[in-house]
Amino acid sequence: MDYIYSAHCEICKRETLEKINDNAVCSNCGYFTFPTQNEKGDIEISPKVAQKLIERGAMLLDVRDKDEYETTNINSSVLIPLKELIYKIQELSRDTQIITHCHHGVRSHKAARFLNQKGYNAKSMKGGIEAWSLTVDPKVARY
């Protein structure tokens, strides 16, 4: 039997999750907490692979908060904090490969899943800006 429970959505932070057929979907932004059947398995890519995709035109989407972005960021990245993503999703193109990144790769993984659920083509950069600094560009400060 389906039932509804209340919890904070990992994407929009609203307290609106509902249980539907063994999954939990947010009635505000539509995020499915657990993988849906048509979700691809592994959406994580390494910073080095991300770098190659960026060179070929992929968009690097930083989903950290504004103060983190101001502390340090990767050149050419676009900032949309995770909790604002649902409200700014129209600014993104479904025709462009999107690579999400955050500090360590947790928020960006949720963001990439959410974008894929909405019909975008998104990957998450494993290890976040920390791993980027360690393996691609040491000029990017760690914090």
Window 22 to 61, contacts with Zn ion (CB under 5 A): 26, 28-29, 31
Q: What is the DSSP letter of 105?
A: S
Segment contacting Zn ion by CB under 5 A, of 21-29, 40-48, 50-58, 74-82: 21-29
Please tell me whether residue 135 adopts helix, strand or coil conformation.
Answer: helix
Told to judge if 9 belongs to the known catalytic residues of this protein, a careful annotator would answer: no
CA distance 47 to 53: 10
Q: Which residue intervals of the chain are DSSP H helices?
A: 47-55, 66-71, 85-88, 106-117, 128-135
Instruction: Give the per-residue contact string, 91-120, with Zn ion (x = CB under 5 A; - = no).
Output: ------------------------------
9 scored as a contact of Zn ion (CB under 5 A): yes
> 33, 10 in Cβ contact below 8 A?
yes
Contact footprint for Zn ion (CB under 5 A): 9, 11-12, 26, 28-29, 31
Active-site positions?
102
